[in-house]
Amino acid sequence: MRNAMSTPKAKSDQVPISGVEFVVLLASFQALQGLAIDVMLPALGAISSDLKLTDPNDRQLIVGVFLICSGLGSLIPGSMADRYGRKPVLAFSLCAYVLASLACAVASDFTMLLVARGLMGALSAALMVMPMTIIRDRFEGDQMARMQSLVAMTFMVIPMIAPMLGQTVMIFAGWRWIFGIMAVLGTAVMIWMLLRLPETLDPAHRQELRPVVILRNMGSALTVRESIGYVIGMALVQSAMFGYINSAQQLVGEHFGAGLMFPMIFGGMALVMAVANFANSRIVERFGARRVSQSALIAYIVAAAVHLGIAMSGSDTLWVFVPLMTFSICMMSFIGANFQSISLQPFARTAGAASSIMSFIRLLVGASLGSLIGQAYDGTARPIFASMLVAGIVSFAAVLYSERGKLFRRLNYPPGYYSPGKRP
């Protein structure tokens, strides 16, 4: 099994990429997607006013449409990357991200803005799919969970600074300049990727680009019992998180009266989430991804039940909401990276296709349900915590299915123990 901090081999004419740079670069791809969501939150009110929206909840579509289209778009890049390699797919996705950002910046009405946001989500979906694929190319088992936690920890820098960045831009310029900054950052990451990231696809693992092969590879990710429960579980937990993100500005900024403090509160929660991901990277190889994530899921369910009871009693305040929501977000950190590594473990030869279909399920289910949760916002935290409780319970049932009713086990699979056409 590979060492957890080993790095990809570079071409002979390229300086080898270090472990730290490798982690930060992978995190940067996902960070651009996170930036496209979080940097917009302080600007939603201004966009609603500037584009003359009649329903205040319509502003949530700026986030929801992006997430749903990201889910739909994530079906494509994995199979393309299994055929042509990881770097060409990333280059296309980054180019599309830059051009779509510029289109959003010049949108003349709300419909045009939503179309541009949809295209951005669909065409840049590889930025979420490829980091998981590249990690699976190089790592296995609990080591893979550790690497994903390190990437997630670095990625968490964006939610910490993105709302404050958006707020700063709103003070000195206008919301359109936010998209201009996104285009500049996308260009910088694309240049960095082209110069420094080696190709990680093993030539022996290249797949044919034929519908029957693509469907077989993707279908494999949906039929392996050890994997599918974790995919569904992550999608449901993520849906509650998206529901919170969709309504966070209204709930925290307006209902709880945080006002200009909202970006700092949102960023502070992300900081704690980054610390949780770092903690996960330190303990997962000792205790195992299953034990850590299953324990976190149980704690997540209990926290949601407690907070729902507080919200139903009418005694929820900003200083009650923030600590409990932060705890729940921390549990999501222990759930997320570990669920991803467990679900991807069986697919060494078809990591791209497996990452695509898993991202599709997570993002489409998560974003669709998250939009419904956001639209259910009623001026209280009740819809958020009711959805978190339901999502946690159903996720727990899905995990029990994958584990055949036995929790807290630590399984060690032989390298590449599963491939399409063979049963584990």
Residue 95, domain CATH: 1.20.1250.20
| Position 249 in a domain | yes
Listed range (73-87, 143-157, 319-333) with the worst mean pLDDT = 143-157
- The yes-or-no verdict on residue 311 having pLDDT over 80 is yes
Range picked from 192-196, 312-316, 365-369 for highest mean pLDDT: 192-196
Q: What mean pLDDT value characterizes the chain?
A: 83
Going from the C-alpha of 9 to that of each of 15, 198, 222, 358, the distances in angstroms are: 10, 7, 32, 27
**Inside any domain, residue 11:** no
Alpha helices in 261-381 (DSSP H): 262-287, 289-313, 318-344, 351-375
Q: For residues 284-293, give the mean pLDDT.
A: 87
Given this model, what pLDDT does residue 236 score?
Answer: 92
How far, in Å, are 187, 217, 351, 380, 421 from residue 213 at the CA level?
A: 34, 6, 14, 48, 11
Q: What pLDDT does residue 3 have?
A: 43
The total domain count for the chain is 1
Distance of alpha carbon 39 from alpha carbon 50, whole angstroms: 17
Q: Is residue 283 part of a domain?
A: yes
Number of H helices, E strands in the chain: 17, 0
Higher pLDDT, 149 or 415: 149
pLDDT of residue 34: 83
Q: Which residues lie closer than 8 Å to 7 by C-beta, 6 or more apart?
A: 16, 17, 18, 19, 22, 138
Contact 219, 100 (CB under 8 A): no
Looking at the domain assignment, is residue 299 inside a domain? yes
Q: Is residue 165 part of a domain?
A: yes
pLDDT-based confidence at residue 150 (cuts at 50, 70, 90): confident
The whole-number pLDDT of residue 386 equals 92
pLDDT at 367 over 90: no
Q: Answer yes or no: is 351 within a domain.
A: yes
| 13 found inside a domain | no
| Between 11 and 347, residue with greater pLDDT | 347
Q: How confident is the model at residue 104 (pLDDT cuts 50, 70, 90)?
A: very high
Distances (CA, A) of 318 to 48, 251, 254, 260: 25, 10, 11, 14
Q: Give the residue from 301, 308, 374 showing the smallest Cα distance to 331.
A: 301
For the segment 397-415, the average pLDDT, to the nearest whole number, is 80
Q: Do the domain assignments include residue 280? A: yes
| Dihedral sign for Cα atoms in the order 192, 148, 121, 64 | negative
Question: Does the pLDDT of residue 394 top 80, yes or no?
Answer: yes
Which of 87-91, 135-139, 393-397 has the weakest average pLDDT?
A: 135-139
- The two tokens of residue 412 are 């060690």
pLDDT band at 391 (very low <50, low <70, confident <90, very high): very high
Give the range of the structural domain holding residue 297, as residue numbers without chain letter.
19-402
- The pLDDT value given to residue 194: 94
Q: Give the pLDDT of residue 300.
A: 95
Q: Specify the amino acid at residue 346.
A: P
Above 90 in pLDDT, residue 127? yes
Distance CA 110, CA 286 (A): 50
Average pLDDT over residues 364-372: 81
pLDDT > 90 fraction of the chain, expressed in percent and rounded: 27
Residue 160: is its pLDDT beyond 80?
no
Q: Write the single-letter amino acid at 275.
A: V
Burial class (CB in 10 A: 0-12, 13-18, 19+), 203: exposed
Nearest by Cα to 420 from 227, 213, 228 = 213
The yes-or-no verdict on residue 139 having pLDDT over 90 is no
422: number of CA atoms within 13 Å, CB side? Answer: 10
Distance in angstroms (rounded) separating the CA atoms of residues 240 and 133: 25
Average pLDDT over residues 378-403: 91
pLDDT class for 318, splitting at 50, 70, 90?
Answer: confident
Say if residue 400's pLDDT is above 50: yes
